[in-house]
């Protein structure tokens, strides 16, 4: 006779295991400790086999029968239910191991290892804030374009359109990595081109009029902050390197006698050489007794193992009364130098672009070379440092011929 739920519920354990058959190979195994297990006995390719179907009462009699019927349908098609379950479990495990977050963190470890720490942290934070909560646990092969769009649209609705675009961009990089490593069939973000409103191009705030630059340089000379930040502020417009490159400058990369600073640009993955004008060399020699015992030129506080904060330059500019959104920012020194060097001093843009460490191919298709135009760049850096000194002092400056 078939079992009833009442009979299953009221069955008491005895001193040995008891089997209560329901038909079709399904039975309830009642253990002496009171535990009740559903089992399915069946034969496959001439061998007697047993399949666990769950524990009562978590698995009711009705559910146990449904599982039995599903297993017998597999048997009818020549499929072993036990092997089918193992395969399904392995598939679920594989899909969990290849979730969007797992693949993303693998990509981050591989792709971002040579990136600047600050950039790496921003990218990781972008995933953790805007993508993982919605996509992280899903198998990356199952993530749809619509789901990605919904995630980045949440960012857009927060008024962070540029961040939404950046999130979508890095999401695409992860999908392409998943395709390359066999975890996804295609990059679904390719279907989302134009799905977000376009961003308005933003330019770093800067000064390009000599009188404004002169006032800024005089304000920098009067800055009352720490000596380290004073030096960083004075040298930033003179060398116009990226703010992150300046604050992470290492004494080991600087040759004061040769007047050269050589380092690896993580943004463009190139070696770069910065000729140091005599004003920069003098300033660095003054700073050496303060931080020369440590690794970083612009040391953070009193810890020789730490570099100056990435917010230090902009914070100092704000203390001097400048608006870093509309007037001048640490990164704006680059645009300031590029504009004035070309428009006021007549320097060839190719020379300027090389000194900015931009990847600009020449007519032969050759990308940036750290030693290209080096003599011209040395001369340009001398002219630039002298120009800044002259406008700061109020002297008349005669532009070079083009």
pLDDT score at 365: 44
Question: Does an H or E element contain 20, and which?
Answer: strand 18-23
CB-side neighbour CA atoms (13 Å) of 89: 6
Q: Is 242 a catalytic residue?
A: yes
pLDDT score at 135: 93
pLDDT score at 188: 95
Out of 115, 358, 370, 382, pick the active-site residue. 358
Out of 126, 234, 242, 272, pick the active-site residue. 242
Bridge partners of 273? 262
pLDDT mean over 26-42: 94
Kindly state the DSSP code that residue 250 receives in the 8-state scheme: B
pLDDT score at 370: 63
201: pLDDT strictly greater than 60: no
Q: At the fourth CATH level, which superfamily is domain 5-85?
A: Integrase, DNA-binding domain (3.30.160.390)
CB-side neighbour CA atoms (13 Å) of 105: 10
Q: What is residue 366's three-state secondary structure?
A: coil
366: pLDDT strictly greater than 70: no
Q: Return d(Cα 79, Cα 69) in angstroms, integer.
A: 13
Maximum mean pLDDT: which of 209-218, 266-275, 303-312, 391-400: 209-218
CATH class of segment(s) 100-192: mainly alpha
Out of 111, 267, 372, 392, pick the active-site residue. 267
**pTM assigned to the model:** 0.55
Other Cβ atoms within 10 Å of 242 Cβ, number: 20
Q: Is 368 a catalytic residue?
A: yes
Out of 247, 331, 338, 377, pick the active-site residue. 331
Q: Within the chain, how many helices (H) and strands (E) appear?
A: 16, 9
Bridge partners of 48? 43
Out of 334, 338, 354, 377, pick the active-site residue. 334
Q: Return d(Cα 14, Cα 258) in angstroms, integer.
A: 93
Q: In Å, what is the CA distance from 230 to each residue of 104, 129, 278, 303? A: 41, 36, 18, 18
pLDDT score at 369: 61
- Residue 325's pLDDT band (cuts 50, 70, 90): confident
Token pair belonging to 31:
């253990």
Other Cβ atoms within 10 Å of 253 Cβ, number: 15
The residue extents of the domains of the chain are: 5-85, 100-192, 210-393
Q: Is 354 a catalytic residue?
A: no
Q: pLDDT, tens digit, for every residue of 2-19?
A: 899 899 999 999 999 999
pLDDT mean over 98-111: 90
CATH for 210-393, among 1.10.443.10, 3.40.50.2000, 1.20.1730.10, 3.50.50.60? 1.10.443.10
pLDDT score at 402: 38
Token pair belonging to 21:
């058959």
* Measured CA angle at 384 (ends 383, 386), to 5 deg: 65
């Amino acid at each position: 006779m078939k079992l009833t739920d009442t009979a299953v519920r009221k069955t008491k354990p005895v001193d040995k295991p008891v089997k209560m058959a329901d038909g079709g190979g399904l039975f309830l195994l009642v253990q002496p400790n009171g535990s009740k297990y559903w089992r399915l006995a069946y034969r496959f390719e001439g061998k007697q086999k047993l399949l666990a179907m769950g524990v009562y009462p978590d698995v009711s009699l009705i559910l146990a029968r449904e599982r039995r019927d599903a297993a017998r349908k597999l048997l009818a098609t020549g499929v072993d239910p036990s092997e089918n379950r193992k395969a399904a479990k392995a598939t679920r495990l594989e899909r969990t191991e290849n979730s969007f977050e797992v693949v993303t963190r693998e990509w981050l470890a591989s792709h971002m290892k040579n990136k600047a720490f600050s950039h790496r942290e921003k990218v990781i934070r972008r995933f953790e804030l805007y993508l993982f909560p919605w996509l992280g646990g899903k198998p990356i092969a199952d993530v749809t374009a619509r789901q990605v769009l919904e995630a980045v649209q949440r960012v857009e609705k927060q008024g962070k359109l540029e961040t939404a675009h950046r999130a979508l961009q890095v999401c695409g990089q992860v999908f392409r990595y998943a395709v390359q490593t066999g975890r996804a069939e295609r990059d679904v973000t390719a279907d989302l081109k134009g799905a977000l409103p376009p961003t308005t191009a933003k330019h770093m705030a800067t000064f390009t009029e000599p009188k404004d630059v002169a006032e800024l340089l005089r304000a920098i000379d009067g800055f009352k902050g720490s000596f380290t930040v004073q030096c960083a502020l004075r040298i930033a417009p003179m060398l116009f390197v990226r703010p992150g490159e300046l604050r992470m400058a290492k004494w080991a990369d600087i040759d004061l006698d040769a007047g050269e600073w050589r380092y690896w640009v993580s943004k463009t993955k190139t070696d770069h050489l910065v000729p140091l004008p005599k004003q920069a060399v003098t300033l660095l020699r003054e700073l050496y007794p303060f931080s020369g015992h440590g690794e970083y030129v612009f040391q953070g506080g009193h810890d020789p193992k730490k570099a100056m904060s990435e917010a230090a330059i902009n914070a100092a500019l704000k203390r001097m009364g400048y608006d870093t959104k509309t007037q001048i920012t640490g990164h704006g020194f680059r645009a300031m130098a590029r504009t004035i060097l070309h428009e006021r001093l007549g320097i060839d843009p190719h020379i300027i672009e090389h000194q900015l460490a931009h990847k600009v191919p020449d007519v032969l298709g050759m990308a940036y070379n750290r030693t290209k135009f080096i003599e011209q760049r040395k001369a340009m850096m001398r002219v630039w440092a002298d120009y800044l000194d002259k406008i700061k002092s109020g002297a008349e400056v005669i532009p070079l011929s083009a």
